[in-house]
Structure 1
């Protein structure tokens, strides 16, 4: 099924409705739903969809030429190179208002050094001469960003639109996940927002059963999915695997990662940069710090499923091979809620953005993130430079209702946040899985907002 891409479909339709030639680039990680987006957009329209393969240049040329000829109801002309094929594609696009999508375009790029120059000639010739739409799509983020859209690319500056397709947010994933709100948070901690991973789960089954049948099953694509992703993007994935496993197990500073993997700080910086470009790792700094100047970065896995896999599947592969049910019961379920706590922080941050967007907070904030210094940390901090005002919050995925102790602890930590001290307005928010002790709300003033899971579910339901 197809979910939650209305804004992307609207953008594609707006481009296609133009009276000028449109070159649209769609890219993003594998499994994020690029092909489904293209097919949903093309549905009901006369179009040609071509999926490139990892074949030789000659085979690629023949396949594309054959599909173009079929699309035009013609005999296949003689085409000797990519310039000839691009020329035939140009003729097709110039003949009326057409819609053509070339999926996995990086495979064409890899087949010959002349592909990009040939497509440059095609695009330049169609400017002002056609109202057709050409979509180039790819899963290799590095190829699309550097070789197709980069400054040195023959196609640089020629696209009329681009869609960097992202995984679903938690709010978007709720359209797929069919559990209670609490169990939906747990499930999202396992699958993340990748549409393919979300739709592999059977929500008529328990989460426990889905974990056993998907990431812990040797016959499921999720069992070795991260290895597949790394092999398709990297020549030597072993070191990247060790870095991701280190981060997933709580080693988040550069020094900790280096110590865990025995990779020197110099090479490690390059590995981390590559993982960031591939959207597999995020670099995080305190929300009060400047991104480029901060010397206190932390690294985290950029995808919940990858975090789950490197935390629970990769270290237990030998046990899973023999007794997956035992690994689930003894190694995963006892630690699952501790693992989910980090995902709950992200869900709370998303809820905070929604509260901010709908003006349900005292302030209006332009930055939301975490704050830490030494051993002090605040889960949520939101800042508004204009007022100035700041929001401070905590997220608790525990079985014990939150009481006045957390309130007092947060008040103390806020004093250590050196941002607009003495001039800022302050407000506070608490998110709690287990709710709050009786009478807590009566002890707090109007600057405090309390959200249990029922209140959080209402925030996302109204989204």
Structure 2
């Protein structure tokens, strides 16, 4: 797979390796986000030992690890009786050469022997320290990495010199892969999200519809069963979790709505929701103006665009897809896809505003997020408390140009957003896929900004 982006992570790893002294680096993140490709790119031109742990017996894991260390240093494989001896052997060899040592999928080792973090503590304190080598622990089980490596109770707590929480690509980063024009790029991102593996499976010389049909709506391709595979690798009984994700993807966003759609009582549901958040499959949102982030006005959303697409269109229609995928696409997905993309478009617009703020092309705001209260909602509200300035923005993924009625509605909504003093400054912005009716730009004052797709793309332009 072609390696994209991650330049900040690569530069930080290179700086740490080139500096004097040893390093313990922790890299973690959800499956498929490109952690292994990042490690391979970093290790490519440096002396390294790359060990990929697997779900197999501890003794065999230890033997493979020792064999790789011996092979790297052109040594005879020693007789090793425990992980403490294996790490001692590695430590002796690191005295002779600056080396990057990678243990990928580290949680698999911990699952077989929960004393391994203690053995590594002794190794880091007594043998890695004093060398110029680097030990990298990498894992896809975020909960295990946070508890067994980064957590306060872990023997390794406080010993890391750097950590990287590898996330899916933002829309701006994904544009390096998505070669469509800006409009189709937003539509495509709404399907694949920013997970590198999903992005690279699409053929961007083909229309998006063809990619959806050939790369997702076929039982023989990877993405057809990918979400179920991900859940089964993390959870013993994924059925209820899948029903929750499907309910949220279909628009049931509050705990009460999810409970009603799934039939799961509120008590157990709370634990399921927490688990899905810990696995980074669900996100919890509160209105951006909420002073208490534990606000009861919370909503949930599927944290990944591809998972949201899959649970909205694939999981509920599996029988039809296996019999007549083109009929499902034409009759179910294509007519509803603009509604699905509209949510992604809001996220892309917010990301574009942050890009403009960083470059100084947009007035600064400390927070940007959704706002709602009762029947009133605003797609993006920006807060600048130091200046008592409020931004209200709407994002329209429609086939018709935005007209004057939306301007009036947004002005009215501003009266319902309780934030700041009575004499606060209010700025407004409209984002539109299909532009604006003639004359609208001349009718609004300087407190309004209108962004078509080309203007949106300009916000992402580098300085």
Query: What TM-score, normalized to structure 1?
Result: 0.98
Task: Specify the alignment match of 2:355 in structure 1.
Answer: 354
- In the other structure, the counterpart of 1:316 is 317
Tell me, yes or no, if the aligned pair for 2:353 and 2:459 is still in contact at 8 Å: no
Partners of 1:359 and 1:121 in 2: CA distance: 49
Higher mean C-alpha displacement, 131-140 vs 303-312: 131-140
Does residue 252 of structure 1 match 2:258? no
Partner of 2:439: 439
Q: How far did 1:141 drift? A: 0.8
1:272 equivalent in structure 2: 273
**Cα distance between partner residues in 2 of 1:220 and 1:437:** 43
In the alignment, the residues of structure 2 paired with residue 237 and residue 9 of structure 1 have an alpha-carbon distance, to the nearest angstrom, of 35
In structure 1, C-alpha distance between the alignment counterparts of 2:403 and 2:366, rounded to whole Å: 29
CA distance in 2, matches of 1:76, 1:293: 55
SS in 2 for 1:223: helix
Q: Contact conserved, 2:26 with 2:137, CA < 8 A, in 1? A: yes
Q: Work out whether residues 280 and 301 of structure 1, in 8 Å CA contact, stay in contact via their aligned partners in 2.
A: yes
Counterpart position of 2:104: 103
SS in 1 for 2:25: strand
TM-aligned CA deviation for residue 157 of structure 1: 1.1
**Residues 241-287 of structure 1: CA distance to partner in whole angstroms, max 9, x if unpaired?**
01000000000001101111111112111111111111100000000
Please list every run of 5 or more consecutive structure 2 residues that lacks an aligned counterpart in the other structure: none
Given that 1:348 and 1:395 are in contact with CA atoms closer than 8 Å, whether structure 2 keeps it comes out as yes
Q: CA deviation at 1:437?
A: 0.5
The aligned residue for residue 384 of structure 1 is: 384
Residue 27 of structure 1 pairs with residue 18 of structure 2: no
Question: How far is the alpha carbon of 1:292 from its aligned partner?
Answer: 3.1
Is the contact made by 2:92 and 2:127 (CA closer than 8 Å) also made in structure 1? no
Change (3 A) 1:90 1:127: closer
Task: Write the deviation string for residues 269-319 of structure 1: whole angstroms up to 9, x where unpaired.
Answer: 111111111110000000000353311000000000000000000000001
Aligned 8 A contact 2:46 2:99 in 1: no
- What is the Cα deviation at residue 3 of structure 1? 0.9
Task: Tell me, yes or no, if the aligned pair for 2:25 and 2:163 is still in contact at 8 Å.
Answer: yes
Q: Does 1:429 align with 2:410?
A: no
How many residues are treated as equivalent by the alignment?
Answer: 462
For residues 53 and 250 of structure 1, the distance between their equivalents in structure 2, rounded to whole angstroms, comes to 38
1:88-127 paired onto structure 2 within 5 Å = 88-126=89-127
SS of the residue corresponding to residue 223 of structure 2 reads coil
Take 2:192 and 2:114, find their aligned partners in 1: how far apart are those partners?
Answer: 38
SS of 2:343 mapped into structure 1: helix
1:10-55 Cα deviation digits (max 9, x unpaired): 1111111221110000010110000000011111111111111111
String of CA shifts for 1:383-441, please: whole Å, max 9, x gaps. Answer: 01111111110000001111111000000000010101413211111000010011001
Contact 1:431–1:451 (8 Å) recurs in 2: yes
Q: The residue matched to 1:279 in structure 2 has which SS?
A: coil
Bigger shift: residues 16-25 or 160-169: 16-25
Say if 1:20 and 1:127, in contact at 8 Å, map to a contact too: no
Residues 1:372 and 2:372 aligned together: yes
Distance 1:371 1:429 in 2: 15
CA distances 1:179-233 after superposition (whole Å, capped 9, x unpaired)? 1111111100000000000000011111111101111111111111111111111
Shift of residue 146, structure 1, vs aligned partner = 1.0
Quote the residue 2:345 is aligned against: 344
State the alpha-carbon separation in 2 of the partners of residues 241 and 250 from structure 1: 15
Aligned 8 A contact 2:394 2:430 in 1: yes
**Counterpart in 1 of 2:5?**
4
Is the Cα contact below 8 Å between 2:91 and 2:128 reproduced in 1? no
Corresponding residue for residue 68 of structure 1: 69
Matched residue of 2:258: which SS? helix
Q: Choose 78-87 or 240-249, whichever is displaced more.
A: 78-87
SS at match of 2:300: strand
Is this contact kept in 1: 2:94–2:128, CA < 8 A? no
Give the Cα separation in 2 of the matches to 1:221 and 1:205.
Answer: 18
CA contact (8 A) 2:286 2:293 kept: no
C-alpha separation in 1, matches of 2:19 and 2:205: 44
Deviation at 1:113, TM superposition (A): 2.5
Map of 2:449 onto structure 1: 449
| SS of residue matched to 2:151 | coil
Deviates more, 1:420-429 or 1:236-245: 420-429
Aligned partners of 1:322 and 1:291: how far apart in 2? 49
- Residues of 2 paired with 1:144 and 1:418: CA distance? 40
2:47·2:98 contact (CA, 8 Å) conserved in 1? no
Moved more, 139-148 or 90-99: 90-99
Who is 1:330 aligned against? 331
On the 8 A contact 2:249/2:308 being kept in 1, the answer is yes
Q: Which residue does the alignment assign to 2:395?
A: 395
